[in-house]
A = this chain, B = another copy of it.
């Protein structure tokens, strides 16, 4: 949930807040039963007086949209009646027609993270973005201009659903650097790897199917699997990635339809699957005939040594569907990713893609082709590795200096994230309002687990988006927030201590 308060208009802040909450409730974004943040906490996160939140909640309660109960907090009421306010009566009872997607995808911890990032003066560790100051804008300008000059209308027409043929060839060649042997017709260009994930889920999963996922894992994957009605089989992750032996035991009794893994610089844990586990995983999958989805957006972003070979390179049995994107190594805005898989899979995914959006933007495909073919991508990766290595080291030093033993983490060898565990059973979501109040945001770890109750002590910090000096200031604010939380805890514990 992101709330934008405009302090320059004459509309009072409580009105603006009520209005934005009302829309979210009526549209189903905040489904019935959702617990709204306590008044004091929401006020802290938005940087407003508590009375602003109290007034807004009072207005919504008067409209019958929320109700407050001592002990239960403020809760959204079921308002799904044929004619809800703000759209014409006598038409379509819209909310009754929708699939229950809103409640399925609603994640209070992520809503909190977005809320904490609402203020413009916040330092955000909560993104998954490359450093914007490293974007080679002038190169992109030249490439797009050349593309339109040379290719003209061809890049503004429809494009084959499988992708722009020269890009499919370039991707096949580029992947050989990592030992992946594939022909261009085993490559499907997609509009970002989220789309690849969706196409795979649609082509291979039916409601009730079981999917083995790492715990923790990428939130967007959990959402897609939940949305198609799959059940989740969590497999824990340690310092060497997915615990394949745990999966092996599970396979004795249960039969997942897919195994989903981020084997390299995993999001969120940063862990990389060891080579022997990779081989074991592929053996298991081939023996059981279960496809392995290798989601691999971070492979190129290593800061010590190149990681182990991709599963797609080690796969002799044709069980791996591999997913990559340029969002982390060039720009998210290109919306270009790709799937590499046995070609019957590529054909099936193409059928789904034709339904979903016909084809991927050919001009953007040309630009990615040019980045690869003209040798522009490799030096850009060198630049990113150097810059991100520096930021990572700055964050390590700052976290150790400011937080000491209060936050445990492993230094990631690549990727975009630190995965941190709070000491002494502090819940990351409790830290978030204190952090927001001090102008810093992060992602609570519980959203990354199939069962969110497991991950309460964890939080994820991105280190590639903020500049080095900002990272340091952000850690200072985070440390102050943690101290404040611990003081509050201590006060409460003293207060509740038995009188002796």
A contact residues vs B (CB 8 Å cutoff): 23, 26-29, 82, 87-88, 90-95, 97-99, 101-102, 105, 129, 132-133, 135, 137, 140-141, 144-145, 148-149, 152-153, 155-159, 185, 190-192, 194-195, 198, 202-204, 206, 220, 223-224, 227, 257, 285-286, 289-291, 316-319, 327, 331-335, 342-348, 351-352, 354-364
Q: Report chain B residues within 8 Å CB of A155.
A: 333
Interface SS, A side: helix
14 A-B residue contacts at CB 8 Å?
A27-B344, A87-B343, A88-B317, A92-B291, A92-B317, A97-B204, A97-B291, A98-B203, A105-B351, A129-B158, A132-B152, A158-B327, A195-B358, A334-B361
- Nearest-neighbour CB distance to chain B for A360, whole angstroms, equals 8
Residue of B nearest to A194 (CB): B358
A156–B204 alpha-carbon span in the complex (Å): 32
- Are B28 and A348 in contact, CB atoms less than 8 angstroms apart? yes
Name the residue on B nearest A356 (C-beta): B198
How far, in Å, is A327 (CB) from chain B's closest CB?
8
Q: Which of A102, A327, A344 has the most CB of B within 10 A?
A: A344
Min Cβ gap A59→B in Å is 20
Copies of this chain held together in the complex: 2
Least CB distance from A326 to B in Å reads 11
Q: Which residues of B contact A145 (CB under 8 A)?
A: 141, 144-145
How many Å from the CB of A82 to the closest CB on chain B?
8
Q: CB < 8 Å: which of B105, B152, B224, B290 contacts A137? A: B152
User: Which residues in B have their C-beta under 8 angstroms from that of A335?
Assistant: 357-361
Shortest beta-carbon distance from A436 to chain B in Å: 21
Contact at A95–B344, with CB atoms within 8 Å?
A: yes
